[in-house]
Amino acid sequence: MPNVEPNRLPATTLVKLIEGGELTAEAVVRSCLERIAEREPVVRAWAYLTAEMALGRAREIDGAKTQSLLKGVPFGIKDIFDTADMPTTYGSPIYVGCRPAYDASAAVLPRASGGIPLGKTVTTEFANRQPGPTTNPHNPDFSPGGSSSGSAAAVADFMVPLAIAASSGSSRALGCSRRPACGSILRPSTRLASWRAWWAISRCFGRR
């Protein structure tokens, strides 16, 4: 096993180590939670954390013998995507405590692939211009970018190896331009994932 904290390892390495029995999913989740506890007061990347649920899911994965694409990898979900087991506020005070009836595909697909959600990441209100509290993890005096600031900052600060983001106004591009270490930005093919159960400024310009 590499001599580095699990939260700093890329997702591909984590999957190999977990499937090879060199690392447990629970150890990875605990490492991420420790990093969050240390840095969240400054970075403020999270709208909601689900530590106990994540640890429980990690133990289930450790007890299973199956292989999967994201086995044991913790991830964050931008708070414009509906989640039935976590609040979804769309970054707005008028939706505080909102509990959707079902999950968006952005939450379903990584879970089905063995990923472990740690919580919801901060977004600007309705993924628009009203900024959230997230700071740039490299320098709190600088901007963290646009509506996906929570997801990108969480990855940049090694809180999670992966986070789900979206872009209707180039928030992912802004994030990467202002956070050189923000992590990988992946965009699925058009119509690969369902449009249902997430807040988009525009169905024409919204990009996951």
For every one of its 208 residues, what pLDDT tens digit does the chain have, with 9 covering 90 and above? 668 999 999 999 999 999 999 999 999 999 999 999 999 999 999 999 999 999 999 999 999 989 999 999 999 999 999 999 999 999 999 999 999 999 998 999 999 999 999 999 999 999 888 889 999 999 998 888 888 999 999 999 999 999 998 866 544 555 454 444 455 455 555 555 555 555 555 444 444 4
171 is catalytic: yes
Burial grade of 180 (CB within 10 A; 0-12, 13-18, 19 or more): exposed
The C-alpha angle with vertex 174 and arms to 171 and 179, in degrees rounded to 5, equals 120
Whether 183 contacts 156, CB under 8 Å:
yes
pTM over 0.75: yes
Task: Give the residue from 206, 203, 136 showing the smallest Cα distance to 175.
Answer: 136
User: 31, 71, 78, 149: which is the annotated catalytic residue?
Assistant: 78
78 is catalytic: yes
Q: Point out which residues pair with 76 in neighbouring strands.
A: 119, 163
Rounded to whole angstroms, the Cα distance separating 98 from 78 reads 15
- Within 10 angstroms of residue 96's Cβ, the number of other Cβ atoms is 8
The C-alpha angle with vertex 128 and arms to 48 and 39, in degrees rounded to 5, equals 35
- Within 10 angstroms of residue 94's Cβ, the number of other Cβ atoms is 9
Task: Give the residue from 23, 31, 36 showing the smallest Cα distance to 71.
Answer: 23
Contacts of 93 (CB under 8 A, 6+ apart): none
User: 31, 105, 148, 171: which is the annotated catalytic residue?
Assistant: 171
Which residue reads 């977004």 in tokens? 123
Amino acid at 23: L
User: 105, 147, 148, 167: which is the annotated catalytic residue?
Assistant: 147
